[in-house]
Structure 1
Amino acid sequence: MSPSTLVRDARRSAGLTQAQLAERLGTTQPVIARLERAGSNPTFETVAGALAAAGYQFELRATHVGLSTVDEDLIRRQLALSPADRLRALDRQITTMRFLADAGAQARAAHS
């Protein structure tokens, strides 16, 4: 969520107008309008102050997600296929693996 949306949603949820939020912050309504404008790039302190004035606490945290060896995009693409299409794809993979196994066996036999 963008800072502008975060501030606007908090202000509205608190039932405040831009002018009321501005008064609480000791600023003017046009300043709040600029803060809530898409593309605004306020500092952390500015957003935290605006949220506090609307009765919210701004928390920033980092959550370790770890490194996954699972290709989630591949899983999503597979799940988007119909069951019949997934079975056909699996059949093609099995055919390819058998071909590669046979080719490897022939190459090893030729070099023995």
Structure 2
Amino acid sequence: MSQFIILIQGDANRWKTMSAQERDEIDTAHREFWQKAGDAVVASGELQGPETAVTVRRGDDGQPVAVDGPFTEAKEVVGGFYVIDVADREAAVALAAGLAEARHDHSGVQVQPLVDHSAG
């Protein structure tokens, strides 16, 4: 088995203005994801908006400093995630493809394997 992170990305402003029908479609797809994935889900969560984020990075004096926001150049932000433990990449992609965010024009779903540090 291998662990993968599924990052749900999208336009935060668009998420705030979604219709009830769009929100219901997304919620339904997440319930279906859980039913299909079952015990393969190791962790999951929906993130609060990017305006609540804090980024910690090196300050001018070399010490870590906290600044508001993710400050990414991209229009899309991460809105949620799943960590799953499945047989292979194809299984991870198949699960991710069932999420409504993979079908909407303002979002996407990234699937990436996690590095296993336990063998060292």
TM-score (norm 2): 0.27
Identify, as 1 or 2, the structure richer in strand.
2
Larger radius of gyration: 1
Identify, as 1 or 2, the structure richer in helix.
1
> Per chain length, whose mean CA-contact separation is higher, i.e. which structure has more relative contact order (CA < 8 Å, sep 6+)?
2
